[in-house]
Amino acid sequence: MARAILLLENGEYFLGKSLGCEGETMGEVVFNTSMTGYQEILTDPSYRGQIVTMTYPEIGNYGINRHATESEKIQACGFVVRQASKIASNWSSEMTLQEYLVKHQIVAIEGIDTRKLTRILRIKGAMNGIISTIDFDKESLKKKLSRLPSMEGLDLVPGVTIDTPQPYQPFAKGQPHVVAIHAGIKENILRLLSARKVNITLVPATWNAKQILDLQPDGVFISNGPGDPAAVTYVIETIKELMGRVPMFGICLGHQMLGLALGAKTYKLKFGHHGGNQPVKNLLTGRVEISAQNHGFSIVENTLPPEVEVTHINLNDHTIEGIKHKKYPVFSVQYHPEASPGPHDSHYLFDDFVRLLRR
């Protein structure tokens, strides 16, 4: 098996074995604490521009199948694991993790100390890195890496949105109509919305409020996605113009962009929240939900206007996990209620949105 190297922008490096295709890749290195769900993680558009490190030591045991994807391809630009299983043991498996990475031409590395790497990222913060199977000269790699911009200020939505509007499924008569702003929407969000008997039209993130309102929606969904929310100014402007005119529900990047549209500010977290074991407290009910999360930015609480209420907080670091407008039928959450780590602790959010539509 070919050698591989992972070099971080602070100069620390790890030598291991190639797990994917030959070549080089660069991105922001983050860690994910989930024990399972590696296929959903790889295909989540929110990971665009990032190299994902799995903290669980053995990855790939149950293989890959076509039904566990969150988009049409792998979105993460690189993958790091301690050990990749060579055996895919599951009735639904169609290929191994390595075959999947090679098929999608993803550069990946295994056989490194992911505990040490995670500790570096926790202490020093998420940082850019480069994986290579062809260049092992550290000075050369540093030079290449120096040309990669920081995630802060980066708009990555154009790389994951769609070009033209499209229905998610054939429309059914008499069902509420949701327009979903596609900033990198996950497939399971669409599945759960559709299961609640709503018609969904996906529209490009570049669409303005007039174009959206011309579709006569009963509500607007603002999707998850990659990059810095403050850089996606065109979606923020659209949300401002839609405020008070239709019910709105946002998830992850959609939550952050909604907060910005309401006048709040966002900031970059030190190493972000990535994993399926994040405890979130619902301040309206007092219940604690086990959530899946994938974000590197958060809303600054003291910048929220008085007409906005914080509804959920993260119990690990008390960052904002949910907000709602006190006057308009508008709310959002930072975490991923569709990802089912609890497993269904947060599905009520989709029911709440559909109730707003039916009013």
Quote the distance between the C-alpha of residue 197 and its chain's center: 25
What is the DSSP track for 89-158?
--TT--B-HHHHHHHTT--EEESS-HHHHHHHHHHH--EEEEEESS---HHHHHHHHTTSPPSTT---GG
- Residue 8 three-state SS: strand
Q: Which of 187, 37, 58, 162 is nearest to 114 (CA)?
A: 58
**Helices and strands per DSSP (H, E), number in the chain:** 9, 19
Secondary structure string (H, E, C) spanning 154-166: CCCHHHCCCCCCE
For residue 355, give the H/E element and its range: helix 348-358
Report the C-alpha gap between 256 and 174 in whole angstroms.
32
Report the C-alpha gap between 35 and 233 in whole angstroms.
35
Cα angle at 94 between 92 and 97, to 5 degrees?
110
In the set 70, 187, 289, 338, the catalytic residue is 338
- 252 a catalytic residue: yes
Position of tokens 């989540």?
44
pTM: 0.96
Model pLDDT, residue 263: 97
Model pLDDT, residue 179: 98
In the set 40, 70, 252, 273, the catalytic residue is 252
Domain ranges of the chain: 3-145, 157-358
| Greatest alpha-carbon span in the chain | 63
Structurally, at CATH architecture level, domain 3-145 sits in: 3-Layer(bba) Sandwich (3.50)
- Which residues fall within 8 angstroms of residue 310, CB to CB, at 6 or more apart? 283, 301, 304, 320, 322, 323
Model pLDDT, residue 359: 82
> DSSP code of 334?
S
Q: For the chain, which ranges sit under pLDDT 50?
A: none
- pLDDT for 6-64, tens place per residue? 999 999 999 999 999 999 999 999 999 999 999 999 999 999 999 999 999 999 999 99
Model pLDDT, residue 343: 83
Model pLDDT, residue 207: 98
Report the C-alpha gap between 125 and 118 in whole angstroms.
10
- pLDDT for 111-150, tens place per residue? 999 999 999 999 999 999 999 999 999 999 999 999 999 9
Query: How far, in Å, are 79, 93, 149, 211, 239 from residue 18 at the CA level?
Result: 10, 22, 25, 47, 43
What is the DSSP track for 11-79?
S-EEEEEE-S-SSEEEEEEEEE--SS-HHHHHT-GGGBTEEEEE-SSEE-TT-B-GGG-SSSS--BSEE
Mutual angle of helices 348-358 and 187-195, in 10-degree steps: 50
> DSSP code of 336?
B
- Which residues fall within 8 angstroms of residue 345, CB to CB, at 6 or more apart? 287, 289, 290, 291
Report the C-alpha gap between 109 and 29 in whole angstroms.
13
Q: How many CB atoms sit inside 10 A of residue 218's CB?
A: 18
- 24 a catalytic residue: no
Report the C-alpha gap between 74 and 44 in whole angstroms.
7
Q: Do residues 271 and 125 touch, judged by C-beta distance below 8 A?
A: yes
Report the CATH number of the 157-358 domain: 3.40.50.880
